[in-house]
Amino acid sequence: MAAKPKLYYFRGRGRKEFVLWLLAAAGVEFEDEFFETREQYEKLQKDGHLHFGQVHLVKIDGMVLMQTRAILGYLAAKCDLSGKDLKERVGINMYTDGNLDLMMMMIAVAPFEPPNKKEESFVLVVKKAKTHYLPIFEKILKDHREDFLIGNKFSWADVQLLEAILMGEELDASVLSDFPLLKVFKHISNIPTIKKFLQPGSPKKPPRDSHYLNFEESNLTIKYP
């Protein structure tokens, strides 16, 4: 890579977090650019970069990429984290798509519910994780008894699963209580690049906080699909 990728988003967690995780796990250094004002957002718009009116954007390898999945797919392929052939890639895509659905609920839906609905929303997401998603990944690990989800090799799917588990644990520390193999899987946190990312002072963002929400509400109307 000629220059470091540049990530643009608000200060705070959001879809960019998925990209941060992947870059970090792949050991790729990057620059984090934050929007603090409306003017910065409007400049990007004026420069013609915001095809679809959204603000999650990465400048990399001479391209301006938008759309979380497009960005993740490119990075995974570039960093050799998307399987060795098409069949492995489709397996990885199935896992990451399913997982992203779950994490979008945690990151892009529940935090934006009105205060009286928020708690209930988070409870529901955790329930969905425990009944709908985590059992699937537990079974995958059980069926092949390998350390990684696909092809016995570290991939994008593993990065995302770890991310989802840690996010789930923030909401409910006991989320893995019924999943012994996922508990073992968590040890991939010890991979040096990931270990570094999980340390304080890394670019990893804390769970949504009020600073983020106030900025967004007062300055912009961002519609999440």
Partner 1 sequence: MAGKPKLHYYDGRGRMESIRWLLAAAGVEFEEIFLQSPEDLDKLRNDGSLMFQQVPMVEIDGMKLVQTRAILNYIASKHNLYGKDIKERALIDMYVEGMADWNEMFIMLFVHPREEQDAQLALLKQKTTDRYLPAFEKVLKSHGQDYLVGNRLSRADIQLVELIYNLEEFDPSLTANFPLLKALKTRISNLPTVKKFLQPGSQRKPPEDMKSMEKTLKIFRM
What is the chain's alpha carbon radius of gyration, rounded to the nearest angstrom? Answer: 18
Q: Give the pair of three-digit tokens for residue 109.
A: 């839906």
Q: C-beta of 93: minimal distance to partner 1 in Å? A: 4
Q: Phi-psi category of 57—alpha, beta or left, where left has phi over 0 and alpha has psi -120 to 50?
A: beta
Q: C-beta of 124: minimal distance to partner 1 in Å? A: 17
Q: C-beta of 211: minimal distance to partner 1 in Å? A: 27
List residues binding partner 1 (CB under 8 A). 48, 51-53, 61, 63, 65-71, 73-74, 77-78, 86-87, 89-90, 93-94, 97-98, 101, 132-133, 136, 225
Instruction: Write the CB contacts of 77 (distance below 8 Å, at least 6 apart in sequence).
Output: none
Nearer to partner 1, 73 or 168 (CB): 73
Q: C-beta of 78: minimal distance to partner 1 in Å? A: 6
Nearer to partner 1, 97 or 178 (CB): 97
Q: Are 154 and 81 in contact, with CB atoms under 8 Å apart? A: yes
For residues 147 and 150, give the distance between their C-alpha atoms in angstroms, rounded to a whole number.
Answer: 9
For residues 18 and 106, give the distance between their C-alpha atoms in angstroms, rounded to a whole number.
Answer: 12
Nearer to partner 1, 7 or 66 (CB): 66
Q: C-beta of 50: minimal distance to partner 1 in Å? A: 9
Nearer to partner 1, 15 or 205 (CB): 15
Q: C-beta of 184: minimal distance to partner 1 in Å? A: 21
Q: How far is residue 52 from each of residues 75, 80, 97, 219, measured CA to CA in Å? A: 21, 29, 21, 18
Nearer to partner 1, 102 or 194 (CB): 102
Nearer to partner 1, 76 or 194 (CB): 76
For residues 109 and 118, give the distance between their C-alpha atoms in angstroms, rounded to a whole number.
Answer: 9
* DSSP SS3 for 207: coil
